[in-house]
C-alpha cells in the first residue's frame, strides 16, 4: 500500500503550499508505442489548453456557488482552481522547454 508524503513548494508569489502525495504509484506502459517528439509536443499543447479551459470553467463554478450562497463549496472550488493554476504553470514551463524557449 502506498504511503503518503507531504511536499512543500513555493509559488512565484512567495506562497507556501503543502500537498500530500502518494509516495509510490505503479502503472505500466507495456505494449504502448513510444510517442514521437512531434506527438509529445502536440499532446502537451493540447493538454495545457484543455486544462486551462477546465480551470476557467471551475472558476465560473466557484462564482456561481458563491452567488447561490454555497460559500464553503465555493471556497473549496476556488482552492482547486488555485492548485490547478500551479499545475498548468508547470506544464507551460515543460512545454516551453520542449519548444526550445
SS (H, E, C) 44-59: HHHHHHHHHHHHHHHH
CA angle at 91 for the pair 49 and 71, rounded to the nearest 5°: 70
Structural domain spans, the chain? 35-101
How confident is the model at residue 7, as a pLDDT?
46
For 59-93, the pLDDT digits (tens) are: 999 999 999 999 999 999 999 999 999 999 999 99
Judge whether residue 5 has pLDDT over 80: no
Hey, what's the cell of 93?
514551463
Mean pLDDT computed over 20-37: 68
How confident is the model at residue 35, as a pLDDT?
87
7 or 48: whose pLDDT is higher? Answer: 48
Q: Are 95 and 45 in contact (CB under 8 A)?
A: yes
Mean pLDDT value across the chain: 81
Can you tell me the distance from the alpha carbon of 85 to that of 97, in angstroms, rounded to the nearest whole number? 18
How confident is the model at residue 25, as a pLDDT?
55
Judge whether residue 15 has pLDDT over 70: no
- φ, ψ at 29 (rounded to 5°): -110, 20
Can you tell me the distance from the alpha carbon of 47 to that of 25, in angstroms, rounded to the nearest whole number? 21
Amino acid at each position: 500500500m502506498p504511503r503518503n508524503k507531504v511536499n512543500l513548494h513555493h509559488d512565484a508569489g512567495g506562497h507556501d503550499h503543502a500537498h500530500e502525495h502518494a509516495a509510490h504509484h505503479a502503472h505500466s506502459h507495456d505494449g504502448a508505442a513510444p510517442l514521437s517528439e512531434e506527438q509529445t509536443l502536440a499532446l502537451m499543447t493540447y493538454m495545457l489548453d484543455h486544462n486551462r479551459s477546465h480551470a476557467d470553467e471551475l472558476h465560473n463554478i466557484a462564482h456561481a456557488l458563491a452567488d447561490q450562497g454555497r460559500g464553503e463549496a465555493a471556497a473549496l472550488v476556488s482552492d482547486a482552481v488555485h492548485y490547478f493554476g500551479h499545475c498548468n504553470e508547470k506544464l507551460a514551463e515543460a512545454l516551453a522547454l520542449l519548444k526550445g524557449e
